[in-house]
Every structure is written in structure tokens, then in C-alpha cells.
């Protein structure tokens, strides 16, 4: 009897910020289809070992890249007969955020390389397998939207950071310069960061106070009004 059930996949768009750029993690496929092409980390759902879709996403992430995820959110579900030449596939996609200094990449058993790729105008410089270019674009849109009103930037920074570094993360992802005084005023009102007593960042410029995020359970609103709204009011 013919099996008409689709193959269920999980795919993950994982982002970080370093070298003053937004980066996405891609793997080079070690087998067909699309052998030697770049793609998002992911794989088939294992109905024996995976007790949830999120568990499957976490497993694939670790197996193929060595990344221990800090933030994982379901993005969207894609399906159709033309996504994969092997079968009718259903893909539950996630986007994830990590701090670059906490990541050690490694290629998984069915990949030959795992590498950060710079995003320029919401695209990478290489062609992507399957329909992963579409997934990347939608993941960036979700990240940008969430960043505008939540505090998920914590997952893109080291545990200790300056307010200038925090602002720069927002500017890189939102692709616009933010007013310094307005940004800091809204951070202070949101009460999401706290200075670390006695710790400063020293360098070529004058020492800067180091901060850490104030931990909070759940998905908390970042600003009473969005950063984008504040920027429009400043113009």
C-alpha cells in the first residue's frame, strides 16, 4: 500500500551578531539532493526519540552544528510537493538566537561544514537549497519585529555588555541608527538591565560601565512603545 504521508522536517534559522554584522548559521550538505549546497540546519522528525517538535529542533541543531541554543521560537510551517525532490515534505521552522562568544561550530554526520554567513539586505552571498531563502527572509522579518518590542537581544550579547553595544545590536538588525539619548531613556524605563558594580569596559576610549540583563520569566514587553515608533517621533 502506498504511503501518502508527508515527510515531516524541522529547519532552524539561527542568528548571531559579530564583526558588526548580522550572521546566520548555514551548513553545507554532504548528500543529495543539493549535495555541497548551503542550507539551514535541520532534518527529519524522529517519532521514536523526539517527544516534541521543539525537542526535534534542538536535537538537529546540536547534531549538525554543535550549538547549544539559548533562544528558540517557532516561526512557520511550510509544505508542498515541490519543496524537496524526494518527497512531499512538511517543514516546521524555527528561528534561534545565540551569543557568538558562546558558540563552537562543528559539522554533523550528514554535513561537511557549518559556517556563519553575513546577511546583506536580508540575503546571504550564496544560493540556498530547497526553499530556504524564503525561510531566511521570513525569519529576519520576525526577528526584526520581535526586537522592536521585546528584550530578546539578551541572546545576541555576551553576559556583560555596555549600553553602546546593546544599542549597536539593535541598529545592526533594524538597519538604522538610533538616537542615543532616546534609546537609553527607554532602556531605563523598561528596567531590563542593571549595572554590574565595579566593572567597566576599558580600551582606547574612556571606560564604559558594564551591564547585565535583569532575568525575567516569559516573553516580556521591552518598551511601552516600540523603538521604531520612537524613531519616527524624533524625526
Dist. CA 153–CA 216, nearest whole Å: 13
Dist. CA 164–CA 55, nearest whole Å: 35
DSSP state of 215: P
**Backbone phi and psi for residue 187, each to the nearest 5 degrees, phi listed first:** -65, -45
45, burial (CB in 10 Å: exposed 0-12, middle 13-18, buried 19+): buried
| Cα–Cα separations (whole angstroms), residue 229 to 4, 50, 173, 178 | 48, 41, 16, 11
* R_g over Cα of the chain: 19
Q: Active site residue: 54, 63, 113, 171, which one? A: 113
Can you name the residues that pair with 111 across neighbouring β-strands? 29
Query: Is 160 annotated as catalytic?
Result: no
Is the bond into 33 cis (omega within 30 degrees of 0)? yes
**Active-site residues: which are they?**
113
Amino acid at each position: 500500500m502506498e504511503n501518502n504521508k508527508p515527510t515531516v522536517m524541522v529547519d532552524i534559522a539561527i542568528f548571531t551578531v559579530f564583526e558588526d554584522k548580522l550572521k546566520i548559521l548555514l551548513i553545507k550538505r554532504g548528500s543529495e539532493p543539493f549535495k555541497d549546497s548551503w542550507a539551514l540546519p535541520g532534518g527529519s522528525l524522529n517519532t521514536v526519540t523526539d517527544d516534541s517538535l521543539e525537542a526535534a529542533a534542538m536535537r538537529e541543531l546540536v547534531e549538525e552544528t554543535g550549538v547549544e541554543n539559548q533562544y528558540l521560537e517557532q516561526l512557520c510551517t511550510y509544505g508542498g510537493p515541490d519543496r524537496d525532490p524526494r518527497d512531499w515534505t512538511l517543514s516546521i521552522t524555527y528561528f534561534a538566537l545565540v551569543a557568538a562568544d558562546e558558540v563552537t561550530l562543528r559539522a554533523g554526520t550528514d554535513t561537511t561544514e557549518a559556517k556563519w554567513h553575513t546577511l546583506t539586505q536580508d540575503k546571504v552571498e550564496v544560493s540556498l537549497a530547497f526553499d530556504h531563502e524564503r525561510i531566511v527572509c521570513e525569519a529576519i522579518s520576525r526577528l526584526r519585529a520581535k526586537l522592536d518590542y521585546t528584550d530578546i537581544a539578551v541572546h545576541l550579547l555576551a553576559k556583560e555588555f555596555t549600553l553602546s553595544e546593546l544599542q549597536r545590536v539593535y541598529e545592526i538588525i533594524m538597519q538604522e541608527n538610533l538616537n542615543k539619548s532616546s534609546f537609553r531613556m527607554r532602556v531605563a524605563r523598561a528596567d531590563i538591565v542593571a549595572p554590574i558594580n565595579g566593572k567597566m569596559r576599558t580600551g582606547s576610549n574612556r571606560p564604559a560601565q558594564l551591564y547585565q540583563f535583569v532575568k525575567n520569566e516569559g516573553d516580556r514587553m521591552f518598551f511601552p512603545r516600540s523603538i521604531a515608533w520612537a524613531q519616527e517621533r524624533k524625526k
